[in-house]
C-alpha cells in the first residue's frame, strides 16, 4: 500500500492509496516521525480505512520509511545513481503517483 506523509512537524498531509482506489488525502498535526507512524498504523487498523485485512496494529508486519532531503538541487524524488551521488539533479527526477496526488489534492484540503 503506497503512501506518503509530508510536512511532519506541523499540519501534515497524509496520502494513502489502497489497491486501485484513488489516493485518500488526510491532514493531522504530527510533530515528529514517531507520531506520523503511530497515526498511520492506527488509521490503517481502523474501520475508516476500509482495509478489511488489517483489524489491529499488530496485523501490520512491515513498514518502509524513506527520508527525503534534496537541498537546493533536488526538488523532486530521484533515483540514487552516479549523477545523484555527484550532486547533478539533471533529468534524474521521478515523481511518484501518491506524491503527485497529494500535491494536487492538498491545496483544497488545506485551504477548504
Write down the mean pLDDT value for the chain: 76
Q: Between residues 110 and 16, which one has the greater pLDDT?
A: 16
pLDDT recorded at residue 89: 53
For 28-66, b/e burial (b = at least 16 CB within 10 A) is eebeeeebbeebbbebbbeeebebeebeeeeeeeeeeee
pLDDT recorded at residue 9: 94
* SS3 of the chain: helix, strand, coil, percent, to 5: 35, 20, 50
For residues 40 and 31, is the Cβ–Cβ distance under 8 A? Answer: no
pLDDT recorded at residue 107: 47
For 74-89, b/e burial (b = at least 16 CB within 10 A) is beebbeeeeebeeeeb
Range of the domain at 38: 3-111
DSSP state of 91: T
Q: In total, how many domains does the chain have?
A: 1
Tell me the per-residue pLDDT of 17-41, one tens digit each, with 9 for 90 and over.
888 889 999 999 999 989 998 999 9
Tell me the per-residue pLDDT of 64-78, one tens digit each, with 9 for 90 and over.
766 666 667 777 777
Q: Between residues 107 and 42, which one has the greater pLDDT?
A: 42
Amino acid at each position: 500500500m503506497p503512501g506518503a506523509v509530508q510536512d511532519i512537524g506541523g499540519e501534515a498531509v497524509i496520502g494513502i492509496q489502497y489497491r486501485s482506489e484513488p489516493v485518500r488525502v488526510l491532514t493531522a498535526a504530527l510533530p515528529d516521525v514517531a507520531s506520523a507512524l503511530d497515526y498511520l498504523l492506527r488509521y490503517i487498523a481502523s474501520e475508516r480505512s476500509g482495509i478489511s485485512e488489517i483489524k489491529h496494529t499488530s496485523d501490520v508486519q512491515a513498514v518502509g520509511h524513506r527520508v527525503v532531503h534534496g537541498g537546493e538541487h533536488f526538488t523532486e524524488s530521484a533515483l540514487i545513481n552516479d549523477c545523484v551521488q555527484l550532486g547533478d539533479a539533471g533529468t534524474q527526477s521521478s515523481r511518484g503517483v501518491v506524491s503527485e496526488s497529494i500535491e494536487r489534492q492538498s491545496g483544497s484540503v488545506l485551504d477548504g
